[in-house]
Amino acid sequence: MELDEGNQSSVTTFILLGFSEYPHVQMPLFLVFLTVYTVTLVGNLGIIVVVRINPKLHTPMYFFLSHLSFLDICYSSVFTPKLLEILVTEDRSISFKGCMVQFFFICAFVITEMFMLAVMAYDRFVAVCNPLLYTVAMSQKLCALLVAGTYTWGGICSLTLTYSLLELSYCGSNIINHFGCEYSAILSLSCSDPYFSQMTCLVISTFNEACSLLIILASYIFIVATIIKMPSAGGLQKAFSTCASHLTAITIFHGIILLLYCVPNSKSSWLLVKVATVFFTVMIPMLNPLIYSLRNKDVKDTARKLIHTKLLSHSM
């Protein structure tokens, strides 16, 4: 630890505790997380490839889905490699700059995914409520603008939150009771007044969560109202099936976020925070491709053909 002269003291290195208080489960956890991370990369890359090679999937819904898969790969790759490293090595250190970079990217990708799910809800609203105007309403230009908007907003929010952390002084303990640079874990090490940073986080988090959930809720209220009016059972089933995967992904994603919001900031709750963060950053990126592929005939058929073609080419 080094101290700079002047008003501000700062640490140059943080130590990530991870799950070090449970040494007997370190190796099993490493194997589990490595397997999950491998499945995450293969599953999400598979979705991107399948959407790209099948012309039938060149629609707004699959355009957004491929970006969701890209985001899952990104934010899983920000946390998981470091988590795997600290599970098998004695060196659990991360530089101050490295910690802030990790926080910036995880924050940017999570906020972007939050609004990507909201955009996908709007897409389902247009598809179910205005099917005849769907291709006109969800034009390529609008889809590109919506995607660019989610990435831009995620970056702006993350930059603001990272700046609020950089403005704080860090002296005394440099031990982070987490496996990554999570906001509350970093904030707990500050030796200056965290009021500005906490208020910034509260405003941005509340605004983003409220806005994204409002868009999703409004979209699904109109979808449910439209489904109820459908005369045929076939139309009802088709409308429900087109939304079921998305609803499942939204429920898991926002359910974990709300759980993390509700957990009190105390030492006794750190294990729950770690477990919830593991589920959020490691498990959700693996679940999304499974949720969307298992419920989607076009994705399953294209994946099956792709695997069959690869196997035939290797056997020849």
Beta bridge partners of 15: 93, 175
**Phi/psi at 269 (5° precision):** -100, 0
Q: What share of the chain is helix, strand, coil (3-state, %, to 5)?
A: 80, 5, 20
Distance, CA of 284 to chain centre:
7
Q: State how far the Cα of 217 lies from the Cα of 278, in Å rounded to an integer.
A: 27
Q: Let me know how long the chain is.
A: 316
**Phi/psi at 14 (5° precision):** -110, 150
Domains and CATH numbers, the chain: 13-314 (1.20.1070.10)
Q: State how far the Cα of 171 lies from the Cα of 242, in Å rounded to an integer.
A: 52
pLDDT in tens, 91-104: 899 999 999 999 99
Q: State how far the Cα of 256 lies from the Cα of 282, in Å rounded to an integer.
A: 12
Q: State how far the Cα of 264 lies from the Cα of 225, in Å rounded to an integer.
A: 38
Count of other CB atoms within 10 angstroms of residue 134: 16
pLDDT bucket at 50, cuts 50 / 70 / 90: confident
Contact criterion met (CB below 8 Å) for 283 and 36: yes
Look at residue 3 and give its three-state secondary structure. Answer: coil
pLDDT in tens, 179-198: 889 888 898 888 888 899 99
Specify the pLDDT at position 93.
Answer: 92
Q: State how far the Cα of 163 lies from the Cα of 224, in Å rounded to an integer.
A: 42
Q: State how far the Cα of 176 lies from the Cα of 155, in Å rounded to an integer.
A: 24
- Alpha-carbon distances, residue 78 vs 5, 33, 82, 104, 166 (angstroms): 32, 14, 8, 10, 19
Average pLDDT over residues 61-79: 93
Q: The pTM is what?
A: 0.87
Look at residue 182 and give its three-state secondary structure. Answer: coil
pLDDT bucket at 123, cuts 50 / 70 / 90: very high
> For the chain, what is the mean pLDDT?
85
pLDDT in tens, 201-246: 999 999 999 999 999 999 988 988 888 887 766 656 666 666 777 7
List the structure tokens of 273. Answer: 């925070």
Q: State how far the Cα of 225 lies from the Cα of 125, in Å rounded to an integer.
A: 11
